[in-house]
Amino acid sequence: MTKNRTQQASGTTFRILVSLSVIHCMNDALQSVVSASYPIIKDDLFLSFGQIGIITLVYQLAASVFQPFVGLFFDKRPSPWSLPMGMAVTLAGLLFLGFSSTFYGVICSVSLIGIGSSTLHPEASRLTSLASGGKRGFAQSLFQVGGNLGSASGPLMAALLVAPYGRQHIGYFSIIAFIAILVMTPVSLWYRKWLLYHMKKNERKKSHLQAPLPLNKTIFSISILLVLIFSKYAYMASLTSYYTFYLIEKFNVTVQYSQILLFVFLLATAIGTMIGGPVGDRIGRKYVIWASILGAAPFALLMPHANLLWTVVFSFLTGLALSSAFPAILVYAQELLPYKLGLISGLFFGFAFGVAGIASAILGKMADSYGIESVYKACSYMLLLGLATWLLPDLKKTANR
């Protein structure tokens, strides 16, 4: 009887993990539609690269600054309905973005989309950890691969549905946001039952949860992880925001073809993400981080000097290597502070979004002043910061002492 109940609970939990991955896919597809539509928005409203960078900055800040506070707030006051409420804000932002006729209207629209995202990431990541059954690396990879698949499909949807018909068609993507709310409803009901059943049990557990390292080493390790997040997302910003412009300017490809090639890069990030988590469960997070960030550096350094074919190949290999880092970094950080899952998730998702936003604004100004190719020559050296991984302690060895 007990075995059957365990199997039934495990099946339910896996369905929750899949649902969270699908939700993440939908959310990040909607986000990437925004960035993939930048060439269309730029031409439609006669914007500069600098203004595109400001739009990205505002969006990323809205999606990042609130995340640690959202995570901390729901650490103390869990709510099963936070996910649908956040997606409702995203839905409103998409409708406004499709019909905004001014630069400031676009700014307000992407702010709403960012605020919706700032709720989804820490809360969905928390639920992923709760439903992981101890396999946190696998669970986070499954969650992240949903987001990466969504990010990869966004440019493709923009190429098929926005580029040929006009910016107003962005508003139709609010239908996906509505479907996401429907998918979230069973997850919210599961979380409500989980809270009712486990609240008292978890309160007793919290007093027994201990960090594996002393406080000073924990703070130092989290700082190193944030440096690694900086190197990863500063480089990723150059690809997600400006790769299409780079391909159009250097190789004279069409907007639609550049969006398809962006899809190839983002598809590689989805594949790499699914590899990173389970491998980290087996061999340790630190080794995955080593291989990920430093492994991507040679391809990133070669890409600015390659022809179109090799540019696509190098971008694919860079995405494949680099994308395995985030699940390993996030789970490593959660293991450092196991009693603050929401805060850690919000901090790392938020910092990643913030770095991407600030980098996008700086890179936009750099592209206006020195040309788009200079962006890729400069950013490729960011990945050498992966050498800081050497300073991280091996938590598997610490746990075995």
Q: Count CB-CB contacts under 10 A for residue 196.
A: 10
So what's the pLDDT on residue 396? 62
Q: What is the DSSP string of 196-210?
A: HHHHHHHHHHHTT--
So what's the pLDDT on residue 397? 57
Which residues contact residue 314 at a Cβ distance below 8 angstroms, ignoring those fewer than 6 apart?
A: 299, 300, 302, 303, 306
User: Please, are residues 315 and 200 in contact by the beta-carbon 8 Å criterion?
Assistant: no
User: Please, are residues 144 and 273 in contact by the beta-carbon 8 Å criterion?
Assistant: yes
3-state DSSP percent of the chain in helix, strand and coil, to 5 = 90, 0, 10
Dihedral (CA of 289, 129, 78, 120) sign: positive
Burial 302-316 (b: 16+ CB within 10 A, else e): bbbeeeeeebbbbbb
Q: What is the DSSP string of 277-344?
A: HHHHHHH-HHHHHIIIIIHHHHHHHHGGGS-HHHHHHHHHHHHHHHTTHHHHHHHHHHHHSTT-HHHH
So what's the pLDDT on residue 7? 41
So what's the pLDDT on residue 8? 41
Q: What is the pTM of this model?
A: 0.68
**Structural domain boundaries of the chain?**
14-196+212-400
Dihedral (CA of 37, 43, 49, 50) sign: negative
H or E segment at 364?
A: helix 341-370
Angle of CA points 123, 124, 129, to nearest 5°: 100
Going residue by residue through the chain (401 aa), what tens digit of pLDDT does each one get?
A: 444 444 444 445 888 999 999 999 999 888 878 777 777 888 888 888 888 878 877 887 787 777 888 878 887 787 888 899 999 999 998 888 888 878 998 999 988 988 888 888 888 888 888 888 777 778 888 888 788 778 778 777 877 777 777 777 788 888 899 999 999 999 999 888 888 876 655 554 444 556 778 888 888 999 999 998 888 888 887 777 788 888 988 899 888 788 788 888 878 877 887 787 787 777 777 888 888 888 888 998 998 889 999 999 999 999 888 888 878 888 888 888 877 777 888 888 778 767 876 787 788 888 888 888 888 788 888 888 888 888 888 776 555 45
14-196+212-400 falls under which CATH superfamily?
MFS general substrate transporter like domains (1.20.1250.20)
